[in-house]
Amino acid sequence: MPQPPLRLALYEPDIAANTGAILRLAACLGVGVDVIEPCGFVWSAPKLRRAGMDYLDRVDLARHASWARYAAGPRPGRLVLLSTKAAWSLPRFAFRPGDTLLLGRESAGVPDAVRDSCAAAVRIPMQPGERSLNVALAAALVLGEALRQLDAYPGETP
C-alpha cells in the first residue's frame, strides 16, 4: 500500500469527541494520525468511541507518550501547525507530500517550544472578530485543502 501523502498530529487533545471525529476523518480520507499524550480524557472514553464509531480500528494510529518522544522520532516531511496566530493564510499556503498537520489542544493550543519546532504555521481565514473553529472542523478544512492541492483524495485517479 502506498504511503499516505499527509498525516495529522494531535497535541495533547482535551476532548474525546473531537479526537474521535478526527480519527474517523483520517480513516475515511486515508491519512495517518499521531496522538501526542497526555490526553485530557481516558483513551477508552465512550465519547471517543461514539464519535469515531467503527472507524477507529481502521486508522493508521500512533500514540506517543510525550512531545519529546514524538519530536525525537522520524518524520517524512514538514510539521505544519494549524494556528489562529499563523502568518500564512490557508488559501496561500502550498502543501507538500509528507507534511504532518499539527493540531493543538482545544483549551490552549501548543506551547512556544512546540510552535518553534514547526516548519510552518497556517491559519484559516475567518470573519473579523471570530476566534476559532472547532478543532475537528479545522482539521477537516485544512486536510481537505491539502489533499486537493496534492491531488491525493482516496479513490480518485488523475
- Mean of the per-residue pLDDT values of the chain: 91
Convert the pLDDT of each residue in 20-74 to its tens digit: 999 999 999 999 999 999 999 888 767 777 766 777 888 999 999 999 999 999 8
CATH topology for 7-149?
A: Alpha/beta knot (3.40.1280)
Contact between 142 and 24 under an 8 Å Cβ cutoff? The reply is no
Q: pLDDT band at residue 1, thresholds of 50, 70 and 90?
A: very low
pLDDT digits (tens, 9 = 90+) for 71-97: 999 888 999 999 999 999 999 999 999
Domain boundaries, the chain: 7-149
pTM: 0.92
Could you write out the DSSP letters of every residue in 23-45?
HHHHHHHT-EEEEESPPSS-TT-
- Per-residue pLDDT for 4 more than 80? no
